[in-house]
Amino acid sequence: MTFWEYSPAPESAAVANLQARYRMFVDGEFTDGRGEPLKTLNPATGEPFAEVSTAAPSDVDAAVRAARRAHEDVWAPMPGSERAKYLFRIARLVQERARELAVLETLDNGKPIKESRDFDVPAAAAHFFHHAGWADKLGYAGFGPDPRPLGVAAGVIPWNFPLLMLAWKVAPALACGNTVVLKPAETTPLTALVFADICLQAGLPAGVVNILPGAGDVGAGLVAHPGVDKVAFTGSTAVGKQIQRELAGSGKRLTLELGGKAANVVFDDAPLDEAVEGVVNGVFFNQGEVCCAGSRLLVQESVAEALLAKLRARIGTLRVGDPMDKNTDVGAINSAEQLDRITELAAAGEAEGAQRWSSRCPLPEKGFFFAPTVFTDVQQSMRIAREEVFGPVLSVLTFRTPDEAISKANNTPYGLSAGIWTEKGSRAQWAAQRIRAGVVWANTFNRFDPSAAFGGYQESGFGREGGRAGLEAYLDF
């Protein structure tokens, strides 16, 4: 057999137009925050490469007041057709600056450049294009003839898809006539701040979008601010529960997109080669740092051995390393803290009796990296089968009957996503109707579209983002 070695194909970091210092964005201006500045690290090296000013409570108050003024004086009274023009401009500017955004996202987050380039940035632009189309059609969306914006929307987003999660929050809010105060994740604030510059380029009125970098205290202050009418949070289930307790009885609208422990179910009639690709994409895309990652593989006993042999062979071809190399398949874990969490859960899997297999790929000496790992002989009571790893770790369980597959798939407090692999359409429909998850893919995984709603049940949160259904969370009717 011939083995091909890939020569390095690095993207240029200079494309990102890195600055030594970034400032928060309030009321149409970049300004120094009154909080303690933070250093953002490159996960591939573990070294700091930019300083970011952060918000203090007074900055949060100033941003919310600016958003309120913009909402009442400019944005809400503006005809939807005019708001649409701004969203179209933003979408086009995201496209024009796509390479800059992709490189910056990879440097700040650690994900492979080909994922930032081919998925994150195009999907973010697509969300702005899609919601621009809704801005003058809200009266026909099924929420009454004259739906109204809520007011000031607070968005708190995670570090795994910084720019895309921004688009998921900002695009529908603006299309519906709300103004936004956004708190990006502490470890990945940079593309949000470049997005603020895009808002200036687009001529967006001052105060319509405000960006407040900082740690969890900034997000907590924003969520609790009495001037906020709606909170949209994507992140951990623990923090989501805390936010829900905080807002109970306040009258604020809330949507939560939280954790997941998705089942990828492979029946004995599935095309195994296609299923293997779907499993690999489901759990190793973005280093497994995906809320809807297919981290539980449920495979029918009669094909388990054959599927696992193909799966190990395929995983062995994945290239782990420099995220800026266009050949890299699995990049760096976002932070040392997250790497410690993954390492701890992998050790727990071994301690509880699961059989560990890890790719023999060489790992860089610097930075935060973890080899793609598969656990077999997994029991449903094990931590790796119950807890969200948020890393490149797959737990394999087997089943004999379709009913057993559904029972095991639903044996989780989460309910965000699932995958089904079978050649029979009737079986796919049967399983999809019985799996308790907000999104169920058939013979594919991790397929997203701005016109399709996304969201979960149980401890995966509530509310939907994307499509017509996603508008509901930003409208009063």
DSSP string, 276-308: HHHHHHHHHGGGG--TT---EEEEEHHHHHHHH
Task: Provide the 10 A C-beta neighbour count for residue 255.
Answer: 22
Q: Which two tokens stand for residue 372?
A: 């793609």
The one catalytic residue among 11, 105, 115, 257:
257
Distance, in Å, from the CA atom of 103 to the CA atom of 93, rounded to the nearest integer, reads 16
C-beta separation of 381 from 282 below 8 A = no
Q: Which two tokens stand for residue 361?
A: 């790929």
* H helices, E strands: number in the chain: 16, 20
Backbone angles phi, psi at 216, to 5 degrees: -60, -30
Distance, in Å, from the CA atom of 360 to the CA atom of 113, rounded to the nearest integer, reads 22
Q: What DSSP designation does 427 have?
A: H
- Catalytic status, residue 51: no
Integer CA distances (angstroms), 164 to 120, 121, 140, 158, 220, in order: 6, 7, 27, 10, 22
- Catalytic status, residue 291: yes
Task: Provide the 10 A C-beta neighbour count for residue 207.
Answer: 26
Amino acid at 399: F
Instruction: Name residues whose C-beta falls within 8 Å of residue 259's C-beta, 6 or more positions apart in sequence.
Output: 236, 237, 291, 388, 390, 414, 416, 459, 460
Q: What DSSP designation does 454 have?
A: B
Integer CA distances (angstroms), 302 to 9, 278, 396, 398, in order: 42, 19, 14, 9
Partners of 149 in the beta sheet? 475
Residues 329-332: contacts with CB under 8 Å, at least 24 apart:
329/112, 329/284, 330/112, 330/284, 330/287, 330/372, 330/392, 331/43, 331/44, 331/106, 331/110, 331/111, 331/112, 331/115, 331/287, 332/43, 332/44, 332/110, 332/287, 332/367, 332/368, 332/369
Q: 């001037």: which residue's tokens?
A: 227
The one catalytic residue among 105, 291, 388, 465:
291
Would you please indicate which residues are annotated as catalytic (active-site) residues? 257, 291
